[in-house]
Structure 1
Amino acid sequence: MENRSYANVQTDQAKNICIGIENSGIPYSANFTDKELKLTYDSDHHESVDEILKKAQSGDYDEMLREIKAKREGDGYLILLPTVAHYLHTTEGALKRRPEEQQIRLCRLYVNFWFADTPTIQRELSKAICVNRETEQNMEKPKPTEQPDMEQSRAYITRETLHRQAEYIRQKQAIKDKQAAEKTERENETERNKRL
Structure 2
Amino acid sequence: MGAKFHPGKAKPKNGRRRMRWGSGCIPATAPAPPSGKSHGGGGIEHYKPPHLLGLLRFTQVGGMPEHMANYTAYPMSPSSAVELAEIGVVLMPSTEPWFGDMRVRRFRLAGELLLSPVFLREVTACWLVNMAALEASTAGASRESDGFVVSSYLSVLAMLMDRKEDVHELRRRRLLHGAPSNKQALGFFKGLGQNLRFGDRYFVALEEIDSYKRHRS
| TM-score range normalised by the length of the shorter chain | under 0.3
> More helix by proportion, 1 or 2?
1
Instruction: Pick the structure with greater CA Rg.
Output: 1
* TM-score normalised by structure 1 residue count: 0.22
Structure showing greater relative contact order (alpha-carbon pairs closer than 8 Å, 6 or more residues apart): 2
